[in-house]
Structure 1
Amino acid sequence: MARSKDALVAGSVQSRAEPGELTPVMLQYLSIKEEHKDEVLFFRLGDFYEMFNQDAIEVSRLLNLTLTHRGAAPMCGIPFHAAKIYIARLLRCGKRIAICEQIGDPKAKGLTERKVIEIITPGTALESEYLDGGANNFLACLCLQKGRAGFAYLDVTTSDFFATSWYESDMEENFSKEIGRCHPRELLLPQSLEKNEIVQNTLLQNEEIAVSYYPDWNFDQSLSYKRLLAQFKTVNLQGFSLDEKSPEVAPAGFLLDYLQKTATTNAPHVTGIKVYRDSQFVIMDDSSRRNLEIVENLRDGSSQFSLLECLSHTETAMGKRLLRSWLLYPLTNVEEIRGRQNHVELFVKNRNLLEFVHELFGNILDIERLAGRVAMERAHAKDVQALRASLENWLKVREQLDSCGFTHTEKNLAEQIVALIKNAILEDPATALGEGRIIKEGWSAELDEYRRIHDNVNKILDDYAEEEKAATGIQNLRIRSNSLTGYYIEITRGKSEQVPAHFILRRALTNADRYTTVRLQEIEKQIGEAELKITETEKALFLELRSKIAEHTNYLLQTAKEIAYADVTSSLAYAALLHGWVKPFVDNSKDFIIKGGRHPVVELHLPSGEFVPNDIEISAEKESKSAYFALITGPNMAGKSTYLRQNALIALLAQIGSFVPAKEAHIGAVDRIFCRVGASDNLARGESTFLVEMTETAYILRTATEKSFVIMDEVGRGTSTEDGLSIAWAVSEYLLNALKCKTLFATHYHELTRLDHPSLKLLCMEVSEEADKITFLRKIKEGASENSYGIHVASLAGLPQSVIRRANEILNTLQKGADSAVSENAGSLQTLQTSAEEKPLEKSVSMPGLFSDEELVLDEILSCDPDDMTPRQALDLVARWKKSLSGR
């Protein structure tokens, strides 16, 4: 595209300037940029948005644009009509954008006036092009006051506004957990937290979040309280479980203030805030959530190969967001869980209803965000028509759902809104208010008259000419026009004596005279103003209509929630039918009994019927005969990790109200799910793989309760065998004696199978050995495994055969006498049981070395090469062996 005259003039001025001299345009840019140092300034020059200096360098790198120069200043630009595409990409990079437009007449002489009309940030973006329809776009804020941390987050596009708090001493656990759950696009923090170690460590793990710091005085408790009162139009906040001293008030109030100053909207559709506590939802730390791959996978962060992928059969954007929320916030209240289950079951049993609902949901657009755009006066005519079509389809769906136990708002208001839009707005209206083509004929008599004039100019003039011909008898009278005089009546000289008195002479010509009349002047004025009047009237009528719809914003938002709920429950039913899942029995017991359980994600990506189901029966009930601690042994690649994860996912699915991948399931609701699986490091924080493992283990031991569900895999493997076995043994004791929670503990330390406790059961992965052929059956059975088959797995991975042979030789040597490595006097854990209050870890089971001194010396003798030793080295070795054995 050729650059506009304004841009070219700026260029020519720059080219004539002396080196180092700034043009008026650049001076104007620098003046505006001074006020917007934190934003990328999109500076309008004709048909382009230009960026200069550091903005140009950074944007050209991020967007792969060509970097040019205007004089000494680096510069790059984008066409204004394609700006949304580039802005969306910059927002994904966490950038803030200030849009500077030409507000003066570009044709006027001198420098065109410009000003910033909009600031767009990742957390305040409103346009659909900037948003992910399937996820909330949260703007979050955290602040610390008087030993308490307040955390609030808001999606201005949907009006979802949440807040919670915790003690500052629990900061490390709760901040990362909340960030992982709501995953905000933008985070606002006081400057006092800029060097807070806990905050910065969490942000290192979430680099995609745009973070801004503000002086601490912005987070004033009193001003925030007043801001919330004004927003919600209430005299107090007791209805939202808040008071003047609540720690949630300061961050919530600052979010609204930030929104007003940045996005220049007071968000009238945000009429309340939901304050929640951890007890309402199943708690999962960020590590457990990532390891279970609930909404995104560990490989690339997408929803593929995640639990969300298995359940994602929703048809509406509102349903997609709600399903994601259910997965991140599983319920703990059994009655609420059963309520969801019943609605899922309704769809499962009525497949015709399910198909009908899914088909119509596909025609429903994002009512939630459309209502928000209407409330914030951002909706255009096509948005309003989309709202009408969506409500029409919803009315058809709810006719079927009303008799099935779903509760809905009254439908008369939806019908009124549909009728209002249908009668007023064209089926395919223009999006820009200045284009016309918005309001239907018959809606406004005034607009219809302007359109009649605009569309029938020739007929109006011909009709008037016929009137004058009949009145004057001058049959050759003609109405003509030109650019100088406008419309006029032309009469030949031969008819001059017949010209009536109300004709006003405009000009005398050789063969004819030109006249006008008061009536003709009125017609000319009407014709000249018709187009402008059409645009102005249509605009006024549309804004009036939009305001009427905005009065019902709360109703539309409630309707959107009803649609989302029906969409999600039908989606869960579809997944249950597609994959053969069953309705679990959920209660407040401590049982966890699964018959034929499967891993939903693994099964989805395997050929039909190939996944091997497994059972589990554990219980923390005192009167139950089932153990609550399952120790699982078995080889690598046999399916231990899959088995652990599948049971955690089954528990989570049950507590969002879904059916589960099993033949039968009885699940006692849990308060927390912990997943200590997998190995990773955190080099940015200087933490090794083993330190990360121990940190996660420590978190579980410190925070789990009797109602928690814990899965742990290979605890202690990141250090020496003796250290690792000792840690795994001690952790197992603590889980058995102190916490007494439902636990699945997988390990390669077969020595742990010697633990003796009435609440411990031994499980192992079944292996088939025929001659030299080893087959992993992926089936769980009672008992303990005697072999890890690690060398077999190494062979499958392609290690050289010489390495495999040598490994087998070493293994045979090490296994000699290994059965006696654990002392027979290790004692029974049964004698060590105490209550958690009695500090059970103060007593421990004595554990000797894994291998005897004789075995270690013998192994060293067999591995040394005497031919390569000097006499001195040989004597030193003998002396060391004697010293090692003298301890006997």
Structure 2
Amino acid sequence: MTQETSHALSGDLATLSPAMRQYRTAKDAHPDTLLFFRMGDFYELFFEDAVVAARELQLTLTARDKAKSVPMCGVPYHAAETYLQRLLRKGYRVAICEQMEDPKQAKGVVRREVTRVLTPGTALDPALGAEQSNYLASVVVAGSNTSMACGIALLDLSTGEFRATEFSGPSAWAQTADELGRVRPVELLYGAGLLGGVNLTGEAVEEGFAGLDAIRTKTPLEEWVFTADHALPLLRSHFRVASLDGLGLAGHEAAGIAAGALLHYMRATKQGGLEHVDGLRFYERSSCLELDGVSVRNLELVEPLFSGETQQTTLFYTMDACCTPMGKRLLRATLLRPSSDLAEIDARLEAVAQASGDLRRREALRQAMTGVLDLERLLGRLALDSAGPREVTSLAATLQCLPGLLAATREFDASKWRRLADGFDSLEDLYELIATTIAEDPPVSLADGGVIRPGINAELDELRELSRSGRQALAAIEERERQRTGITSLKVRFNNVFGYYIEVTKANAKAVPGDYERKQTLVNAERFTTPELKDYETKILTAQERSGEIERKIFNELRRQLLDAAGRMRETARRVAEIDLLGCFAHLSALRGWTRPVVEAGGQLEFIGARHPVVERRLEESGTGRFVPNSVHLDADAGPSVLLITGPNMGGKSTYLRQAALLVIMAQCGCFVPAERMRLGLVDRIYTRIGASDNVARGRSTFMVEMTETAAILNSATNRSLVLLDEMGRGTATYDGLSLAWATVEHLHNRIGARTLFATHYHELTLLAERLERLKNLRVTVKETTGGIVFLHAVEAGPASKSYGIEVARLAGLPAGVIARAREVLKLHERAESQQVREAAADHVPAMQMTMFTPLSQRIVDRIAEVDVDGLTPREALNLLAELQRELKG
């Protein structure tokens, strides 16, 4: 803020105009927001707020008081939503200061109040995709070291979804940061300076939050907000319970405090009664197949790996055949949290099997969801008082579809279908309530009138009739006055400024009767009124105003009745989402020839003739070929637990790794998979270390990031995990990288026993198959021709004979001279390495590739190797040594 504007804003209130005193009071109460101050038909911004808004919204910056140079800009109130969303997406917080009374009836300055504070986590963004959630998160830390507990709460205000979790122990903060990185809320609340009353150093706080770069808005709150004495009573009050144990928070105080802090923020930002936030669910990460943020990103489950790519690279895009917005969000959530409950997985697979095998009933089910709109978000808009008449009729249209959907669901008799149908509330009474109250085609705004059906309120019907008859009476007055005055062009008209009037052209001014009262003079006409016209004006305007009051009252009562049933609607929305998800899985399984996996409690991972679901679909859509199926066999209990995969770049190693993970995720979601056959022992967590990236802002190189991710795997994987490691150790010197990769494979094999797919260019690692009984070598195949190599994309047993890196470089377009020289250097090193490999194998250590900078030529090495040491005389040995020395110096 400039010195001048700061002085103007902080000056004596007595020197400010009444309106600016109101602005000053509102701004003092909300200093960290951009204040949209309603003045007539505009929202105005002043001082530094105006400078920021003009810059971000590309508005013209003007001045309210040129003498004091008070910056000012504004937006029309009827178009404010667009501007507000642009600011919110940039991470700003906005306070809306509304006029609380009619300016025409106000005595003195119009009373104004801040009615709501909009933030990225509390605003209903109309551009939000149907499949996306808009999470507001809060985090709290209690204790330290081994007694540390971290609580997280998540709220999607648009749907009412409210859940919380908690982590404890020395790794609690790391797990918390990882969970927030996976969920990626749009706004995060935390205690300023102190997280939950524990004094962490600024460095620790910075490091903790630095890993959450995807969260665009981080909002600090006062420390007392994150105390049990304040937060927990808020929870009990909101849910009207005496104990939080029934919400699953017994023994989870940190999670409860985080949830209570969220409710405090909702109240502080004036988000309404929150009737649709009618439940809190405590969840454990261990209750599902755990996927950390790194794995979610590497596997491209819901977002492409690179920002410039389309959604077509994601598993969500490939599997999204849902018919409803609720189903789409459930699909996204299920991919991020696949089940680890064997009974639930089997129930879903049985339901999918029944529906996928019956085209008629499956399509009838999906057709029944055609008219189902976003029930959760319509309810959210209703609860936040942002739903107009047309949103309510959209809600009715959705409710009208529910009996048909219930009937279609009952056509199936698998246990999962029966559970969804039993107790399914089709909400027919709510549909009747809306249909009999709201007009068939209501206006957009309640203020436009005509929202309530005739016959609902006798007084409203009378007032409407009076308005209609009044208009007829005005037409009769116009005709009578034309005849009385002889002025055929005389007109009776209305506008908001002058009300009802008689308009006569200047040419007919002499024929105006003496009982006409002049109201306004125009260039070519005169406007008049009469006592009779005044009476009709009073009756009609009074009737319209009273009609508006009655319609608002009836509409608000309807809203209250619907919100009283918010719990019923949310439960029905949950069931619709599950029905849609199962229908989606069945549709895809039948359409794409997917098969039912066998999921059990063992340590197996076997698929035969499997395809990568995303790559296969992209190949089909582009028409560029067909996917080559591959197979995997892993067994953490009896068979090979580590598959070491070698072969050239572009051969398909990374695709093979990702394919294994995606099929596991699909199977544990309860979906069929693209394979001839699949057998899976439940996986507790998937770990991935794929690709190279750095984080320069945090001082972490590519290799440091790689080692950090690898450390997380080795420190927390179990024998029921699935580990995918691709090209580990390539970010450092050959000796270091190969040694680390060698030791990592041994640790995974000997200590952890996790099912592991390890892709590498270090051919020396293939020697481990002779030492580790549960390690098996695989290779991606290529075909060598006179013109180069052809990638076959098939995986078979055995180590690769060579890496073909130079051939891949040739395909990439490196100059021919570089390729030729590289082949020469490669031959020298291969000959030098052969002896070293033999010696290293005898000592059970990895053989090290010779570096390009060795001073020994291959010819000297070969001469030494060929010498018969026992047959040399001392003189001959000295002569040979002198000769080699001269050659080295040369």
TM-score, reference length from structure 2? 0.82
Contact persistence 2:173–2:208 (CA under 8 A)? no
Matching residue of 2:363: 355
Between the aligned partners of 1:642 and 1:45, the Cα distance in structure 2 is 59
Please state how far the C-alpha of 1:418 moved relative to its aligned partner: 1.3
Contact persistence 2:184–2:215 (CA under 8 A)? no
Q: Secondary structure at the match of 2:312?
A: coil
Query: Which amino acid is 1:163 matched to?
Result: A
Map Cα deviations across residues 26-75 of structure 1 (whole Å, 9 max, x no partner): 55434432222111111223322222333233223333334444432333
Between the aligned partners of 1:595 and 1:417, the Cα distance in structure 2 is 51
Matching residue of 2:629: 613
Match runs of 1:265-304 below 5 Å: 265-300=272-307, 303-304=311-312
Between the aligned partners of 2:335 and 2:726, the Cα distance in structure 1 is 23
Query: Which amino acid is 1:263 matched to?
Result: K
Query: Which amino acid is 2:628 matched to?
Result: V
Query: Which amino acid is 1:319 matched to?
Result: G
Please state how far the C-alpha of 1:109 moved relative to its aligned partner: 7.7
Q: Secondary structure at the match of 1:297?
A: coil
Between the aligned partners of 1:615 and 1:559, the Cα distance in structure 2 is 41
Q: Secondary structure at the match of 2:643?
A: strand
Matching residue of 1:76: 73
Match of 1:218 among 217, 225, 238: 225
Q: Secondary structure at the match of 2:590?
A: helix
**Range that drifts further, 117-126 or 45-54:** 45-54
Match runs of 1:806-845 below 5 Å: 806-824=821-839, 826=841, 845=844
Match runs of 1:743-782 below 5 Å: 743-755=756-768, 756-782=771-797
Q: Secondary structure at the match of 1:606?
A: helix
Between the aligned partners of 1:59 and 1:340, the Cα distance in structure 2 is 51
Contact persistence 1:231–1:270 (CA under 8 A)? no
Contact persistence 1:176–1:286 (CA under 8 A)? no
Contact persistence 1:144–1:168 (CA under 8 A)? no
Between the aligned partners of 1:373 and 1:145, the Cα distance in structure 2 is 35
Contact persistence 1:853–1:884 (CA under 8 A)? no
Query: Which amino acid is 1:177 matched to?
Result: D
* Alpha carbons of structure 1 residues 254 and 445: separation in structure 2 relative to 1, 3 Å: same
- Is the counterpart of residue 551 in structure 1 residue 564 in structure 2? yes
Query: Which amino acid is 2:804 matched to?
Result: Y
Between the aligned partners of 2:818 and 2:852, the Cα distance in structure 1 is 26
Match runs of 1:154-169 below 5 Å: 154-169=155-170
Please state how far the C-alpha of 1:655 moved relative to its aligned partner: 0.9
Contact persistence 1:171–1:198 (CA under 8 A)? no
- Is the counterpart of residue 370 in structure 1 residue 386 in structure 2? no
Match of 2:809 among 775, 782, 794: 794
Please state how far the C-alpha of 1:157 moved relative to its aligned partner: 2.3
Q: Secondary structure at the match of 2:276?
A: coil
- Is the counterpart of residue 672 in structure 1 residue 685 in structure 2? yes
Contact persistence 1:450–1:531 (CA under 8 A)? yes
Unpaired runs of at least 5, structure 1 = 1-13, 15-20, 464-480, 487-506, 508-515, 829-844, 863-877
Query: Which amino acid is 2:730 matched to?
Result: R
Matching residue of 2:121: 123
Query: Which amino acid is 1:359 matched to?
Result: Q
Match of 2:657 among 641, 644, 652: 644
Q: Secondary structure at the match of 1:743?
A: strand
* Alpha carbons of structure 1 residues 802 and 861: separation in structure 2 relative to 1, 3 Å: farther
Match runs of 1:191-340 below 5 Å: 191=192, 192-193=194-195, 195=202, 197=204, 200-203=207-210, 205-243=212-250, 246-300=253-307, 303-340=311-348
Q: Secondary structure at the match of 2:291?
A: coil
**Range that drifts further, 450-459 or 139-148:** 450-459
- Is the counterpart of residue 62 in structure 1 residue 62 in structure 2? no
Match runs of 1:440-519 below 5 Å: 440-457=453-470
Contact persistence 1:677–1:711 (CA under 8 A)? yes
Contact persistence 1:671–1:707 (CA under 8 A)? yes
* Alpha carbons of structure 1 residues 227 and 855: separation in structure 2 relative to 1, 3 Å: closer
* Alpha carbons of structure 1 residues 30 and 167: separation in structure 2 relative to 1, 3 Å: same
Give the number of equivalent residue pairs.
785
Contact persistence 1:429–1:438 (CA under 8 A)? yes
Between the aligned partners of 1:595 and 1:541, the Cα distance in structure 2 is 63
Query: Which amino acid is 2:755 matched to?
Result: K
Matching residue of 1:94: 91
Between the aligned partners of 2:429 and 2:847, the Cα distance in structure 1 is 81
Please state how far the C-alpha of 1:22 moved relative to its aligned partner: 6.5
Matching residue of 1:704: 717
Query: Which amino acid is 1:735 matched to?
Result: L
Match runs of 1:128-143 below 5 Å: 129=126, 131-143=128-140
Matching residue of 1:513: none
Please state how far the C-alpha of 1:821 moved relative to its aligned partner: 2.0
Q: Secondary structure at the match of 1:187?
A: strand
Map Cα deviations across residues 688-738 of structure 1 (whole Å, 9 max, x no partner): 101111111111000100000001011111111111111110000000000
**Range that drifts further, 528-537 or 724-733:** 528-537
Map Cα deviations across residues 309-342 of structure 1 (whole Å, 9 max, x no partner): 1011112211111111101111111111122222
Q: Secondary structure at the match of 2:637?
A: coil
Between the aligned partners of 1:62 and 1:649, the Cα distance in structure 2 is 41
* Alpha carbons of structure 1 residues 802 and 652: separation in structure 2 relative to 1, 3 Å: same
Between the aligned partners of 2:690 and 2:462, the Cα distance in structure 1 is 74
Contact persistence 1:40–1:96 (CA under 8 A)? yes
Q: Secondary structure at the match of 1:188?
A: strand
Unpaired runs of at least 5, structure 2 = 1-7, 9-14, 196-200, 477-491, 501-514, 516-530, 862-880
Between the aligned partners of 1:364 and 1:768, the Cα distance in structure 2 is 53
**Identical-pair percentage:** 39
Match runs of 1:839-878 below 5 Å: 845-847=844-846, 849-851=848-850, 856-858=855-857
**Range that drifts further, 142-151 or 369-378:** 369-378
Between the aligned partners of 2:108 and 2:429, the Cα distance in structure 1 is 52
Between the aligned partners of 1:409 and 1:424, the Cα distance in structure 2 is 30
Between the aligned partners of 2:443 and 2:593, the Cα distance in structure 1 is 48
Matching residue of 1:493: none
Between the aligned partners of 2:570 and 2:545, the Cα distance in structure 1 is 36
TM-score, reference length from structure 1? 0.82
Please state how far the C-alpha of 1:423 moved relative to its aligned partner: 1.4
Map Cα deviations across residues 94-147 of structure 1 (whole Å, 9 max, x no partner): 111111223354456864443322211111114x52644321111110011122
Matching residue of 1:634: 647
Between the aligned partners of 2:539 and 2:43, the Cα distance in structure 1 is 39
Pairwise CA RMSD: 3.4
Contact persistence 2:318–2:617 (CA under 8 A)? yes
Query: Which amino acid is 1:339 matched to?
Result: A
* Alpha carbons of structure 1 residues 44 and 795: separation in structure 2 relative to 1, 3 Å: same
Contact persistence 1:222–1:244 (CA under 8 A)? no
**Range that drifts further, 22-31 or 587-596:** 22-31
Please state how far the C-alpha of 1:25 moved relative to its aligned partner: 4.7
Query: Which amino acid is 2:833 matched to?
Result: A
Contact persistence 2:734–2:848 (CA under 8 A)? no
Query: Which amino acid is 1:767 matched to?
Result: V
* Alpha carbons of structure 1 residues 787 and 60: separation in structure 2 relative to 1, 3 Å: farther
**Range that drifts further, 678-687 or 392-401:** 392-401
* Alpha carbons of structure 1 residues 427 and 751: separation in structure 2 relative to 1, 3 Å: same
Between the aligned partners of 1:718 and 1:223, the Cα distance in structure 2 is 50
Matching residue of 2:485: none
Query: Which amino acid is 2:242 matched to?
Result: V
Please state how far the C-alpha of 1:178 moved relative to its aligned partner: 1.2
Map Cα deviations across residues 81-103 of structure 1 (whole Å, 9 max, x no partner): 11111111211111111112233
Q: Secondary structure at the match of 1:822?
A: helix
